[in-house]
Structure 1
Amino acid sequence: MTSLIKPGKTIGILGGGQLGRMMALSAREMGYRIAVLEPKPDAPTAQIADVSVEAAYDDRKAAKQLAEHCDVLTYEFENIDADTASFLENTMYLPQGSKLLYTTKHRVREKQAVQDAGVEVSPYRPVSSVEALENALQDIGCPAVLKTCQGGYDGKGQVVINEDTEIKEAFQELAAQTTDLVVEAWIPFEKEISVIVTRSTNGETAVFPVGENIHKNNILHQTIVPASISSETEERAREMACRLAEKFELVGTLAVEMFVLDEETVYVNEVAPRPHNSGHYTIEACATSQFDQHVRAVCGWPLGSTELLKPVVMTNILGEDVSYVLDNLAEFAEGHVHFYGKQDAKTGRKMGHWTVLGATRNEAMATTEKVWRERMDTE
């Protein structure tokens, strides 16, 4: 075994959100201490960390302070500063490296890297002007989605263009943030799925069961496992994820979101080099959670089993859902409620999630739908 980080050592986490929190909880169970760099006070990860450095991600002095406490470093999401990660990579042990972080922070670089690995993505064009956008849409057609190349999540930083008359307004809306934009073809998919693959410092690879994702208002609402896809499509999706992990020389976790058009056609939509919202179901439903697996991977442990113990439905709890969940906890008792320690329950903000297991997929869905249908009736 190489680069084994033993229990009792300190894992540093760049980013203090809910992914870092759940990563830290897994690490604590395995005997590690936690340090975190995060600009927001009382962040979800900071609440359970041994050391919290409260500073901007591009603060080099703060990065050095974090490094002084850590034996190994990881990151919880890709919108942290890639230059800081590169700086820290030269001063301490960052097994994930900064290269993949740099690639996935930018949508065009990401899509080019996926294509270079021999995996299909939906048609796209980089654009930096109204004229370039008009020319791009002549190639890929309408409808299409205009997105910022950096930042943006849960539907932020993107505009759907349905017809030519909307081009100028769409460009001006996003160009107010940046002119570094990309336009993507609208894909008439049958299903959205995601595959989470983990690769350790020892080169061992493990893949979690394929999740079927349901979005509402461009925010992930539910992940259902097993996905209702053919065994051939499932195998194709797993192979695509593993190919990317190998080509990217992944260490840690990679979430690969995909569009399923039909049994013959699967496109990669986005990738994320860290644990993912669509993998939260693994905490209760798999032999090893995505967070346990990530810690194992970066610390040089053997990877755990990804066996699905029971069919499962994971539902996100957004800011507008919090009061209902807390007022009706008895209704949610058949599942597992997780809250992330965030203070401001804003509309559309992910505040927690609820996981329901069942003897069958249909049973898990029926239990979830009954409670959530009552939630919808209150609106």
Structure 2
Amino acid sequence: MSFDLASRLASRRAEDLYRLRPLLDSPQGPEVVVDGQRLLAFCSNDYLGLASHPEVIRALREGAERWGVGGGASHLVIGHSAPHHQLEEALAAFTRRPRALLFSTGYMANLAVVTALIGRGDTVLQDRLNHASLLDAGLLSGARFSRYLHNDTASLAARLDKAEGDTLVISDGVFSMEGDLADLPGLSAAARARGAWLMVDDAHGFGVLGAGGGGCVEHFALGLEEVPVLVGTLGKAFGTAGAFVAGSEELIETLIQFARPYIYTTSQPPAVACATLKSLQLLRDEGWRRQHLRNLIVRFRRGAQELGLTLMDSPTPIQPLLVGDSGRAMRLSARLRERGLLVGAIRPPTVPAGTARLRITLTAAHDEAQVDRLLDGLALAWRELGDD
């Protein structure tokens, strides 16, 4: 008996679902070099343009000179350096929560929280469109797992009525492939009415939403009681790498004691924490980045509407253009690339069957002329493909 890997790969190619890794040969930014071609990119999650900011780069360099390159060990052995601790304190203050805990990746943070909080005999309820890391965490927890209809509090309430044991409700703050916001006030009210906790992964909300960049919880003016578990990633608007969980003293201590992905993982390089401390400062102090980004979003959506393009309902930098057929989405992406525009085609299984799309992302590093160039390219590509 052997694994028929060749057939699996051939099937994925035939269904227009085969994935390729673009080779980036330049720093992150609006203009990049990918596979040897200079392109104007609209597919990065570097929402505030901080990944290549000179002050962040300087902080990373100075951090490496002071603290070395590797973390050396897990946080519980000898890998918890002063920059890690300073960043946790800064993130706790930023989120207005008692404590925060650093993780190496967002995927690991979600696995850690869910598997530490619930297990067999408990219940986990998730939005159908949650990120894969959240869904995987729910399955691995061993708890009774159910998915409610997207952003539907009535659907959630019906499942909460059947919940057993400790119950954890989990939602993205901003849905990464749709760009829409979770109804956090509604989800929180439904969860609290039935004694459940709400966990929010706000990977795509931090830095972008809220007057101070505090994400969905700041946008909706929610606190620790409404959202007891708050997760964020540092590789998007923060422009660096890693993730964090913010919450109560008891939550963070529970994760330190019981979260296996935290206990048994080497800490991130302390120099990355130094860089993130600087990017957090820029994120908070330079509100013009958020305002410029909001202006670009309005400009793009208005232009797309004038062209008759079907955008999904998103007030965020994630602006998905619904296409439907995977092959057509790939052809549209290829036509745009011929015109020097890099836009990713998102297909199943990342999104539901029949909902392939171009996932357009805007950043504060883009300017109005670049957004207009994207609109011109979309208009031509759409016209050229017609009804094929």
Q: TM-score, normalised by structure 2?
A: 0.31
Q: TM-score, normalised by structure 1?
A: 0.32
Q: 1 or 2 for the larger relative contact order (CA 8 Å, sep ≥6)?
A: 2
- Give 1 or 2: higher strand fraction: 1
- Give 1 or 2: higher helix fraction: 2
